[in-house]
C-alpha cells in the first residue's frame, strides 16, 4: 500500500525544542509541590494529596526528551513525593491514635451522637441495612410507618 | 528493515512536543468534556428511565452521544497530528471532523459503539442472570465472562485503534477501507501498542489520587504518544 504520509517530514524535524519551554512547566511543578508541602501541616488531607500528585506529574512531563531532571523539576518531584509520604504518615498516625486512644474514641462517639442524634454503631447498622440518613433521623424523608 | 521507536522514545518525543502547547490542548479537553457532560445531563433530564419507551429512548440518545463523542475524538486526533508535525494547534481543532468527513467519523463512532456493546453483551446477560438467581456458580461464570469480554474489547480496540488517524491522513478512503487499513497496520504491532498503553497505568493511578485533576496533563501526554506511535508505524511501512 502506498502511504504518502504528509506528517513524516515535519515529525522528523520535531525533536529539538527550546529548553526553556520545559523550564516553565518545571517552575509551575515546583510551586505546586511547595504548596503541597505547606498544606501537609494544616492536616487537610485532600489538598496535599491533590497538589503533591499534580506536582509529581508536572515534574515528569517537564523533562521533555531529556533523560535527567532539571533542578526545579527535582525540587518539584522531591516536594511532591515528600508531601504524599507525610500525608500518608499523618493519616496512618491519626488512625493509629484513634484505634488506641479510648478517650479520643469516646469524644468522637459523643460528638457524633450530639450531631446525628444517634450512636455511631446504630448509624453504621442503618447504613448496612440499606436505610438512608433521612430514615433514621426522621427529618428528611416522611416515615410512613409512624403515620399508621 | 523496520526500525520502530521504543515505547520510551515515543513517550519522550510526546513530552517534548507538548511543551508550550498544554494551554490549547487542555482547552480542547475541556471543550470535549463540557459538550459530553451537557449532552449527557440533557439526555438524563429528558428521559424517564422507569418506562420501557423511556429506557429505549435513553439508549438511542446514548448511541447518539457516542457518535458525537466519536466525531470529537477524530478532531482530537487531528489536533495531535498537527502538534506532532510542528503546526500551531487551537482548542477549536476538536471540531475539525464536524466540517470534514463528519459522515465517516460518525459511522466509525457508531461501529465502535455497536461493536463494543455486542462484545460486552454475553457478560451483560450472564450478570443479569446472576443478579436474578444469586447462584455462586453464575457469579463464577460471570467473572470468567468479564475477563473474556474485557480481553476481546481490548483486542478490538487495538485492531481498530488507527482508524481516526487514517481517516484524517487519507480522506478519500471509505469506512470499509479505513477499517481494513487499520487491521493491516496493526498486524505485528498490537503488542507494541498494548505495551505502550500499559506503561501509562502508573500515571493513571497517580491521577486518581489527584481526584482526576492531573488527567488534564496525562490525557494529552497519552494521546500524543499514541499519535507518535501511528506516525512511527506509518513511516516504517512506507
ipTM of the shown complex: 0.84
Q: How far is B29 from chain A (nearest CA, A)?
A: 17
What three-state secondary structure class fits B233? helix
pLDDT digits (tens, 9 = 90+) for A98-134: 889 888 888 888 888 888 888 888 888 888 877 655 5
Mean pLDDT is lowest, of B63-67, B147-151, B197-201, for B63-67
Q: Report the percent of chain B where pLDDT is more than 90.
A: 54
pLDDT digits (tens, 9 = 90+) for A52-82: 999 999 999 998 888 888 899 999 999 999 9
For position A5, what pLDDT does the model report? Answer: 46
pLDDT tier at B1, thresholds 50, 70, 90: low
Average pLDDT over all residues of chain A: 78
Task: Say whether pLDDT at B237 is over 70.
Answer: yes
Q: How distant is the alpha carbon of residue A19 from its chain centre?
A: 31
Q: How far is A130 from chain B (nearest CA, A)?
A: 18
For position B214, what pLDDT does the model report? Answer: 93
**CA-based R_g, chain B, Å:** 19
Q: How far apart are CA A55 and CA A111, in angstroms?
A: 37
Which chain B residues are within 8 Å of A6, Cβ to Cβ? 85, 169
Give the torsion sign (CA, B82, B83, B88, B90). positive
Task: Say whether pLDDT at B211 is over 70.
Answer: yes
For position A19, what pLDDT does the model report? Answer: 52
Instruction: Return contacts of B46-49, CB within 8 angstroms, 24+ apart.
Output: none
For position A77, what pLDDT does the model report? Answer: 93
Q: How far is A39 from chain B (nearest CA, A)?
A: 14
For position B160, what pLDDT does the model report? Answer: 93
For position A118, what pLDDT does the model report? Answer: 83
Mean pLDDT is lowest, of A29-33, A78-82, B126-130, B140-144, for B126-130
CB contact at 8 A, B132 and B77: no
Give the nearest chain A residue to B222 (CA atoms): A61
pLDDT digits (tens, 9 = 90+) for A6-36: 454 444 444 444 456 788 899 999 999 999 9
Which chain B residues are within 8 Å of A61, Cβ to Cβ? 15, 18, 217, 221
Average pLDDT over all residues of chain B: 89
Q: How far is B186 from chain A (nearest CA, A)?
A: 14
Considering only CB atoms, B19 lies closest to which of A49, A53, A64, namely A64
What is the number of CB-based contacts under 8 A between chain A and chain B?
A: 99
For position A113, what pLDDT does the model report? Answer: 87
Contact B19 A5 (CB under 8 A): no
Task: Say whether pLDDT at A145 is over 50.
Answer: no
pLDDT digits (tens, 9 = 90+) for B213-222: 999 999 999 9
Give the nearest chain B residue to A57 (CA atoms): B214
Amino acid at each position: 500500500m502506498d502511504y504518502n504520509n504528509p506528517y513524516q517530514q515535519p515529525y522528523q524535524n520535531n525533536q529539538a525544542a527550546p529548553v526553556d519551554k520545559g523550564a516553565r512547566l518545571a517552575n509551575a511543578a515546583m510551586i505546586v509541590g511547595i504548596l503541597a508541602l505547606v498544606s501537609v501541616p494544616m492536616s487537610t488531607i485532600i489538598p496535599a494529596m491533590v497538589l503533591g500528585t499534580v506536582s509529581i506529574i508536572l515534574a515528569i512531563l517537564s523533562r521533555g526528551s531529556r533523560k535527567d531532571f532539571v533542578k526545579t523539576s527535582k525540587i518539584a518531584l522531591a516536594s511532591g513525593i515528600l508531601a504524599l509520604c507525610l500525608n500518608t504518615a499523618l493519616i496512618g498516625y491519626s488512625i493509629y491514635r484513634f484505634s488506641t486512644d479510648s478517650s479520643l474514641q469516646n469524644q468522637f462517639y459523643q460528638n457524633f451522637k450530639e450531631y446525628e442524634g444517634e450512636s455511631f454503631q446504630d448509624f453504621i447498622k442503618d447504613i448496612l441495612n440499606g436505610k438512608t440518613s433521612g430514615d433514621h433521623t426522621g427529618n428528611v424523608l416522611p416515615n410512613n410507618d409512624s403515620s399508621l | 528493515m523496520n526500525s520502530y521507536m521504543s515505547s520510551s522514545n515515543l513517550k519522550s518525543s510526546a513530552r517534548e512536543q507538548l511543551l508550550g502547547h498544554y494551554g490549547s490542548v487542555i482547552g480542547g479537553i475541556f471543550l470535549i468534556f463540557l459538550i459530553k457532560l451537557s449532552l449527557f445531563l440533557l439526555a438524563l433530564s429528558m428521559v424517564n428511565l422507569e418506562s420501557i419507551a423511556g429506557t429505549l429512548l435513553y439508549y438511542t440518545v446514548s448511541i447518539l452521544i457516542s457518535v458525537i463523542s466519536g466525531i470529537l475524538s477524530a478532531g482530537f486526533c487531528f489536533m495531535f497530528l498537527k502538534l506532532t508535525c510542528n503546526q500551531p494547534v487551537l482548542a477549536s481543532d476538536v471540531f475539525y471532523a464536524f466540517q470534514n468527513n463528519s459522515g465517516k467519523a460518525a459511522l466509525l463512532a457508531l461501529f465502535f459503539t455497536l461493536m463494543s456493546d455486542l462484545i460486552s453483551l454475553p457478560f451483560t446477560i450472564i450478570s443479569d442472570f446472576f443478579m436474578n438467581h444469586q447462584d455462586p456458580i453464575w457469579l463464577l461464570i460471570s467473572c470468567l465472562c468479564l475477563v473474556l469480554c474485557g480481553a476481546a474489547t481490548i483486542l478490538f480496540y487495538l485492531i481498530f485503534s488507527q482508524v481516526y488517524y487514517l481517516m484524517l491522513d487519507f480522506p478519500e478512503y471509505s469506512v470499509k477501507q479505513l477499517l481494513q487499513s487499520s487491521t493491516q497496520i496493526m498486524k505485528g504491532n498490537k503488542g507494541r501498542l498494548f505495551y505502550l498503553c500499559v506503561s501509562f497505568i502508573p500515571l493513571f493511578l497517580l491521577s486518581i489520587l489527584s481526584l482526576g485533576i492531573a488527567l488534564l496533563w496525562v490525557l494529552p501526554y497519552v494521546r500524543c504518544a499514541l499519535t507518535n506511535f501511528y506516525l512511527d508505524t506509518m513511516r516504517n511501512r512506507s
